[in-house]
């Protein structure tokens, strides 16, 4: 949610790949300072812009390994970029919301995001992977908050491991 707010201004201030590649890290850091770890993110944005220019001719690659080779890009971000930018849905992007909600609901029973991703891919039809990612994020932000989930008003309560006291949901 914070990233969506910050990028509106950021994209106006730095409208091109070249503007990121040439920008001092401090300027980008100032623009994104309300995000966590903003110094590291600013550094990675500059480095990523330079790598995209030098190695990929200024184009974002439509390849998972190539994306993950870029500074600051991990598995989740690569999955999101492939899905949203290229329509390639070969995995489910798992962020903190997806991880928490999937494990609470019992769609996964996994100690880490990679295992959660694989279990979700087994438990959700591939045609729904992109939507499921968004549904789980939305549910995690609006209902199934990390510190105080609204179990009493949750429409998924009947099926939820967490709400029904199952330790898989880590209640």
Backbone phi and psi for residue 23, each to the nearest 5 degrees, phi listed first: -75, 145
Write a three-state SS string for 110-156: CCCHHHHHHHHHHHCCHHHHHHHHHHHHHHHHHCCCCCCCCHHHCCC
What residues act catalytically? 76, 95
């Amino acid at each position: 949610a914070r990233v969506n707010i910050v990028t509106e201004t950021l994209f106006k201030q730095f409208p091109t790949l070249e503007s990121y590649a040439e920008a001092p890290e401090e300027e980008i850091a100032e623009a994104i300072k309300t995000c966590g770890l903003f110094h590291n993110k600013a550094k990675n944005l500059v480095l990523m812009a330079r790598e995209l220019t030098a190695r990929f001719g200024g184009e974002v690659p439509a390849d998972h390994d190539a994306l993950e080779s870029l500074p600051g890009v991990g598995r989740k971000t690569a999955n999101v970029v492939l899905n949203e930018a290229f329509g390639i849905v070969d995995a489910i992007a798992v962020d903190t919301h997806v991880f928490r909600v999937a494990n609470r609901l019992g769609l996964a029973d996994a100690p880490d995001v990679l295992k959660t991703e694989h279990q979700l891919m087994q438990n959700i039809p591939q045609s729904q992977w992109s939507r499921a990612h968004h549904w789980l994020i939305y549910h995690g932000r609006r209902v199934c908050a990390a510190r105080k989930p609204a179990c009493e008003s949750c429409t998924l309560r009947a099926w939820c491991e967490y709400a029904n006291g199952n330790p898989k949901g880590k209640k």
